[in-house]
């Protein structure tokens, strides 16, 4: 009878051990799936945020030739500045990956020089077409700034998940790499520029 009791007690212990192992494995699988889904959702939000920036950049690219053409009529001898803006626009449109961030920063700098020209040409400030284009570009720049903030926020969240334990285990298995923030490329661009129209 004691042998039978020992066998049944050993069987119960074995069942409990197996049940604990199964529960632990199940918890591990659920945790992995949750981490995987959270990381994939962040990757998708990052891509969506970048696509939003792309839309705003496209609007900006479309406005720049009209703005340059309007300024050209008033400032014909400022061709170097105007050509610089167009070159920067074309470089930004064709750049990919990390080069795109640098190209966009260069374009922002050349646009500042374009707007600085208006100080030398009072008639240009009075041109309704130029003022309308300027308002449109300012609106696009504001939307672009908001899209950049959102992008950087999502990138921060993704990079944090990639760095922190235990989600970094899943991130390594997915071969996720930290993303770069969309930021200004130089100290000159960080300075406030006062341009009045």
User: How does pLDDT run across 4-57, given as a tens digit for each residue?
Assistant: 555 566 677 888 898 999 999 999 999 999 999 999 999 999 999 999 988 888
Do residues 68 and 17 share a domain? no
Do residues 64 and 27 share a domain? no
Q: What is the DSSP letter of 75?
A: -
> In angstroms, rounded to a whole number, what is the distance separating the alpha carbons of residues 139 and 126?
19
Q: What is the pTM of this model?
A: 0.69
Do residues 78 and 145 share a domain? yes
Sign of CA dihedral 152, 155, 160, 161: positive
Do residues 21 and 59 share a domain? no
Do residues 72 and 140 share a domain? yes
Q: Report which secondary-structure segment, H or E, holds 91.
A: helix 79-94
Do residues 93 and 131 share a domain? yes
Query: What is the share, in percent, of the chain residues with pLDDT greater than 90?
Result: 34
Q: With a cut of 50, say whether residue 169 has pLDDT above it.
A: yes
Do residues 61 and 144 share a domain? yes
Do residues 50 and 71 share a domain? yes
Do residues 20 and 83 share a domain? no
Q: Which residue in the block uniquely carries the two structure tokens 């006062």?
A: 194
Structure tokens at 21: 């192992």
Q: What is the per-residue pLDDT across 46-90, written as a single tens digit (0 to 9) for each?
A: 999 999 988 888 888 888 888 887 777 766 656 777 778 888 888
Question: Helix, strand or coil for residue 165?
Answer: coil
Which of 115-119, 177-181, 192-196 is least confident? 192-196
Tally of residues, the chain: 197
Do residues 79 and 22 share a domain? no
- Give the pLDDT score at 146: 92
Q: What angle do CA 140, 146, 151 make, to 5 degrees?
A: 120
Question: Which pLDDT band holds residue 141 (cuts at 50, 70, 90)?
Answer: confident
Cβ density class 77-103: b for 16+ within 10 Å, e for less: ebeebbebbeebbebbeebeeeebbeb
Does any domain span residue 39? no
Residue 60's domain spans which residues? 45-190
Class of residue 67 by CB neighbours under 10 A (exposed 0-12, middle 13-18, buried 19+): buried
Does any domain span residue 163? yes
Do residues 23 and 68 share a domain? no
């Amino acid at each position: 009878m004691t042998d039978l009791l020992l066998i049944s007690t050993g069987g119960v212990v074995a069942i409990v051990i197996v049940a604990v192992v199964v529960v632990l494995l199940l918890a591990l699988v659920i945790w992995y799936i949750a981490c995987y889904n959270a990381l994939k959702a962040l990757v998708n939000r990052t891509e969506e945020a970048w696509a939003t920036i792309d839309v705003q950049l496209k609007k900006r690219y479309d406005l720049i030739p009209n703005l340059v053409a309007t300024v050209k009529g008033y400032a014909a001898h400022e061709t170097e500045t105007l050509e610089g803006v167009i070159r920067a626009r074309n470089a930004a449109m064709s750049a990919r990956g990390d080069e795109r961030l640098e190209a966009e920063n260069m374009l922002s700098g050349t646009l500042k020089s374009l707007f600085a020209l208006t100080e030398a040409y009072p008639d240009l400030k009075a041109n309704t077409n130029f003022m309308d284009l300027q308002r449109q570009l300012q609106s696009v720049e504001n939307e672009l700034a908001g899209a950049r903030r959102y992008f950087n926020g999502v990138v921060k969240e993704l990079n944090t998940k990639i760095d922190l334990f235990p989600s970094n285990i899943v991130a390594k298995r997915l071969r996720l790499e930290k993303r770069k923030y969309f930021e200004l490329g130089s100290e000159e661009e960080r300075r406030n520029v006062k341009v009045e129209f």
